[in-house]
Amino acid sequence: MFQKQILLPQDQIPRQWYNILADIKINPPLGPDGNPVKPEDLAPVFPMNLIEQEVSTERWIDIPEPVLDVLAMWRPSPLIRANAFEKALDTPARIYFKYEGVSPPGSHKPNTAVAQAYYNKVFGIENMTTETGAGQWGSALSFACSQFGLNCKVFMVRVSFDQKPYRKAMMEAWGGTCIASPSQETKAGRDALQRDPETPGSLGIAISEAIEAAVADTSGKTRYSLGSVLNHVLLHQTIIGLEARKQFGMIDAYPDIIIGCAGGGSNFAGLAFPFVYDKLSGRQVEIYPVEPKACPSMTRGPFVYDHGDTSGYTPLLPMHSLGHAFVPAPIHAGGLRYHGMAPTVSQLAEEGIIEPKSVGQLESYKAGVLWARTEGIIPAPETTNALAQVVKEAQRAKDEGREKIILVNFSGHGLLDLGAYAKYLAGELTDFALSDEEIERSTAITADYPRPERLKNV
């Protein structure tokens, strides 16, 4: 009998996260003095229990029971065979997707939002600040804070704030406060508006605002929360890939190709890192993070030390970056409009353990519409980037005459992104491409920073 969904029993939910820092080396983040950042340097921004996770090199980290209790609302998430999509592509490939749209906010983001809210709560924190691009992360943290009785303030990139008004309503329904960024509430926001009153905003600016708002609270009861990039965030997301490995074991199969969209790295890493662990142990698997051509940090950005935010509040991080002042074009995949990439993902790309890809906005929406008309689920704009790469790999399998197994992380549904689909269907969306000159100008800001050492993990 054909099996459409592979459902992992709830008592088989992973009870530990996988920490890739047990198996690879990365360059340390650097402070203003050029020396490695100490854990205590991060204390004004993050609670110490999360800082301990950030620097841990333990391979397996236990998931607290209160976190598992909330995750059990939707986890384990289903692994689903995309047979109608396969048929439409006329490919011998077997395509599976890990569907993260079943969470209350409709994306993968609550996997870490719930954990971060829990750790802040037990540390005695009462208020959390954060940024969001398309609104998925802001929605997730608002939801998570509602579960643990915390206040949540979200700075949302202005272009997405305007494009996706129902994301704000979603955050407010869970008790969160959503502010368009750049705003007048912070020096970082005011400076950005002074530079360009018509700026569409960026994740880098929004991060600066959220950090500034957290540190400004002298009561010590507010901390900042990041939805991607940092080690502890990607750690929490590995529950996705750990579940997927168990689910493939249930059908005695293993993927040949792993694909996930990549903005800051959390969605991609959540699926891919457990399979990277297998690859480092000798397993043959191709692993592709996919980013938009309008914001090609990995495929065209250099591997440098750079700030994670526009105002330079964060330490210098070793990552592929387009420069912390870079403001991406206003594509609808707002969650992928970030100038840099997670240090762990960047290191893996630098060493060829994973192979970054980039796709255009129009080919992404074409894949997303085909998916909606075959599999029925309307994908988030971010997910369409991954699906565009799935189309390419399915064609390659057809050209080679091979029945490859392709696994893609379906990061969330696009039910609050229908305005973008309406524009695509009306022929109003365009592609954006950066010239070499634009990238050279945007990356020049890192010229005086130290350069990461060339490490060798394989």
Write down the pLDDT at residue 309.
87
Average pLDDT on 355-378 reads 97
Give ∠ CA 251-88-105 in degrees, rounded to 5.
65
Q: How confident is the model at residue 253 (pLDDT cuts 50, 70, 90)?
A: very high
DSSP character string of 121-151: HHTT--EEEEEESSSHHHHHHHHHHHHHT-E
* Residue 156, φ and ψ in degrees, nearest 5: -105, 130
Taking a C-beta distance cutoff of 8 angstroms, is the pair 95, 175 a contact?
A: no
Residue 154 forms beta bridges with which residues? 130, 178
Q: What is the pLDDT of residues 143-200, one digit of tens each?
A: 999 999 999 999 999 988 998 889 999 999 999 999 999 999 999 999 999 999 999 9
Indicate the range of 234-248, 250-264, 414-428 predicted with least confidence.
414-428
Three-state SS annotation for 368-436 = HHHHHHHCCCCECHHHHHHHHHHHHHHHHHHHHCCCCEEEEEECEECCCCHHHHHHHHCCCCCCCCCCH
Q: How confident is the model at residue 333 (pLDDT cuts 50, 70, 90)?
A: low
The C-alpha atoms of residue 390 and residue 246 are separated, in whole angstroms, by: 22
Residue 1 has pLDDT above 50, yes or no: no
Give ∠ CA 262-309-50 in degrees, rounded to 5.
75
Average pLDDT on 71-77 reads 98
Under DSSP, is residue 10 helix (H, G, I), strand (E, B) or coil? helix
Q: Which tokens go with 138? A: 């802001």
Q: What is the CA 301 to chain-centroid distance, rounded? A: 18
- Mean pLDDT across the chain, nearest whole number? 94
Tokens 């090199």 belong to 57
Q: Which tokens go with 315? A: 């330490």
252 or 33, which is more confident: 252
Write down the pLDDT at residue 313.
86
Tokens 């592709």 belong to 288
Q: Which tokens go with 235? A: 């750690």
Under DSSP, is residue 19 helix (H, G, I), strand (E, B) or coil? coil
Residue 337 has pLDDT above 80, yes or no: no
Write down the pLDDT at residue 434.
87
Write down the pLDDT at residue 433.
82
The C-alpha atoms of residue 78 and residue 400 are separated, in whole angstroms, by: 29
DSSP state, residue 283: -
Residue 68: which H helix or E strand, with range?
helix 65-71
Taking a C-beta distance cutoff of 8 angstroms, is the pair 222, 128 a contact?
A: yes
Write down the pLDDT at residue 204.
84
The C-alpha atoms of residue 135 and residue 87 are separated, in whole angstroms, by: 33
Average pLDDT on 45-56 reads 96
Q: How many residues does the chain have?
A: 458
Indicate the range of 159-168, 239-248, 390-399, 401-410 predicted with least confidence.
159-168
Listed in order, strand segments (DSSP E) in 112-250 are 127-132, 151-157, 177-181, 222-224
Residue 101 has pLDDT above 80, yes or no: yes
Residue 47 has pLDDT above 60, yes or no: yes
The C-alpha atoms of residue 144 and residue 124 are separated, in whole angstroms, by: 16
The C-alpha atoms of residue 98 and residue 153 are separated, in whole angstroms, by: 30
Write down the pLDDT at residue 15.
98
Residue 332 has pLDDT above 70, yes or no: no
163 or 76, which is more confident: 76
Under DSSP, is residue 177 helix (H, G, I), strand (E, B) or coil? strand
The C-alpha atoms of residue 197 and residue 194 are separated, in whole angstroms, by: 6
Write down the pLDDT at residue 13.
97
Average pLDDT on 338-346 reads 94
| Cβ-proximal residues to 226 (8 Å cutoff; 6+ apart), any chain | 130, 131, 207, 233
* Residue 128, φ and ψ in degrees, nearest 5: -125, 140
Write down the pLDDT at residue 327.
82
The C-alpha atoms of residue 31 and residue 392 are separated, in whole angstroms, by: 42
The C-alpha atoms of residue 297 and residue 451 are separated, in whole angstroms, by: 16
State the number of CA atoms in the 13 A half-sphere of 120 facing the CB.
32
Taking a C-beta distance cutoff of 8 angstroms, is the pair 20, 60 a contact?
A: no
The C-alpha atoms of residue 46 and residue 93 are separated, in whole angstroms, by: 44
Write down the pLDDT at residue 334.
60
Tell me if the domain spanning 71-106+238-446 has CATH number 3.40.50.1100.
Answer: yes
Residue 431 has pLDDT above 50, yes or no: yes
Q: How confident is the model at residue 312 (pLDDT cuts 50, 70, 90)?
A: confident
Whether the bond into 76 is cis, omega within 30 of 0 = yes
Q: Which tokens go with 187? A: 């020096």
The C-alpha atoms of residue 194 and residue 186 are separated, in whole angstroms, by: 12
Q: What is the pLDDT of residues 214-252, one digit of tens each?
A: 999 989 999 999 999 999 999 999 999 999 999 999 999
